[in-house]
Amino acid sequence: MEAVSKILGIQTFKEMKKPFVYITGASAGFGKACAEIFAKEGYSLVITGRRNERLAELAESIKADHNVEVVTSCYDVRNESEVKEAVAALPDDVKSNISILINNAGLAVGRGPIDEGLTDDWDRMIDTNVKGLLYVSKAVIPFIKAFDGHRQIINIGSLAGKEVYPGGNVYCASKHAVDALTKGMRLDLLPYNVKVSQIAPGMAETEFSMVRFKGNQDKADAAYEGYDPLLAEDIAEIALFLVTRPAHVNINDIVITPTAQANSVTIKKN
Ligand code: NDP
Ligand code: 8X3
């Protein structure tokens, strides 16, 4: 088909532009940085999150800077029917050109002893980090499997999915689930040549701690004081690196921490 197109001087979609990267949680932090770096490389984007104004602003600024398509899709990953409807509502030429899914939307809510934990916080973490990732994956994977070209899923796990630290209980459990689901997806999608990777970051300065500490700026700032934490751009660069390996290479898992962090609880502060 491509050879015929060349002879006739017809450009196929693949020749004209790069496919779509579908990014959850693109209204802030890692997801926003991923949107920016992939657009710079010429990928079109589906960017999702609950804050539509943020998504619209990001879409406008990316479109002004790069010659790519950006589709915004506003929904809550915890709501299965919203997820299904939002994915189904994408234009057909977008759905049929989704090549890469970045499952990034997630959060921690609260940090403290398990017996003092609030069940509402637990629900928010499990519903977002585990069930939300599953709902989005179920809706988007059929398009990735059907895409004629590079197929990849990147799950944003955490160092908290590799070890458990005091007060991290349910957040750590949710990210251990992401670690297991990444391995499960890699096995189940092997027949379809879908690369499945995980990025597991340590401390990175984003809105994460403001969400975790429920708007307490002092507590959020304290999380990043006395050392240089990772930046959202560091994670986006890794995501792009994973996607730009040769066809025969899949990087399964990357654990990335600030240089000052040796494990979840050991940070060298000034
Ligand atoms: P931010 O708080 O900066 O961004 C989180 C993003 O997730 C936002 O775009 C938010 O969008 C979206 N999101 C949260 N809940 C929902 C929901 N219910 N439905 C849809 N979107 C949602 O945090 P980060 O960028 O730091 O976090 C991104 C991922 O990285 C998370 O999975 C987090 O657990 C993980 N991580 C973060 C680390 C860190 O230190 N920062 C380290 C390791 C992992 P909106 O509010 O608009 O819905
Ligand atoms: C976020 C990193 O160490 O706060 O996933 O759990 S940590």
Convert the pLDDT of each residue in 207-216 to its tens digit: 999 999 999 9
pLDDT at 15 over 70: no
At residue 4, does pLDDT exceed 90? no
pLDDT tens digits, one per residue of 44-58:
999 999 999 999 999
Confidence at 10, pLDDT banded by 50, 70, 90:
low
Is residue 257 in some structural domain? yes
Cα 223 to Cα 8, 37, 92: the distances in Å are 59, 26, 43
125 CB near ligand 2 (under 6 Å) = no
What pLDDT does 17 receive? Answer: 77
Q: Does residue 229 fall inside a structural domain?
A: yes
Tell how far the Cα of 32 is from the centroid of ligand 1, in angstroms.
Answer: 10
d(CA 45, CA 228): 30
Ligand 1 atom closest to residue 159's alpha carbon, by position in its atom list: 43
Q: With a 6 A CB cut-off, is 49 part of the ligand 1 pocket?
A: yes
Q: Is 171 a catalytic residue?
A: yes
3-state secondary structure of 77: coil
Q: What is the mean pLDDT of residues 141-168?
A: 98
E strand segments, the chain: 20-23, 44-49, 70-74, 98-103, 152-156, 195-201, 204-205, 230-231, 253-256, 261-263, 266-267
In a domain, 262, yes or no: yes
Could you tell me the distance, in angstroms and rounded to a whole number, from the CA of residue 111 to the centre of ligand 1? 16
Residue 257 has pLDDT above 90, yes or no: yes
Q: Residue 64 — very low, low, confident or very high, per pLDDT cuts 50/70/90?
A: very high
Mean pLDDT for the stretch of residues 143-165: 98
Q: Indicate if ligand 1 lies below 6 Å from the C-beta of 78.
A: yes
User: Which position among 75, 135, 171, 224 bears the catalytic label?
Assistant: 171
* Structural domains in the chain (count): 1
How would you class 64 by CB atoms within 10 Å of its CB: exposed for 0-12, middle for 13-18, buried for 19 or more? Answer: exposed
Cα 19 to averaged position of ligand 1 atoms, centre (Å): 24
Is residue 3 domain-resident?
Answer: no
Token pair, residue 214, equals 């429920």
- Tell me, yes or no, whether 8 lies in a domain: no
Ligand nearest to the CA of 267: 2
What residue numbers bound the domain in which 117 lies?
19-267
Decide if 250 is inside a domain. Answer: yes
Check if 127 has its Cβ closer than 6 Å to any atom of ligand 1.
no
Asked if residues 204 and 259 have their Cβ atoms less than 8 Å apart, the reply is no
Task: Give the pLDDT confidence score for residue 5 in this predicted structure.
Answer: 47
Q: Are 55 and 72 in contact (CB under 8 A)?
A: yes
> Does residue 238 fall inside a structural domain?
yes
Q: How far apart are CA 91 and CA 86, in angstroms?
A: 10
22 vs 6, higher pLDDT: 22
pLDDT of 98 above 70: yes
Query: Does 58 map to a domain?
Result: yes
Please report the pLDDT score of residue 84 as a whole number.
Answer: 98
Nearest to 144 by CA among 155, 136, 135, 152: 152
Nearest to 43 by CA among 195, 178, 236: 236
75: CATH? 3.40.50.720
The pLDDT of residue 147 is above 80: yes
| Ligand 1 atom with the shortest distance to the CA of 50 | 48
- Residue 28 Cβ inside 6 Å of ligand 1? The answer reads yes
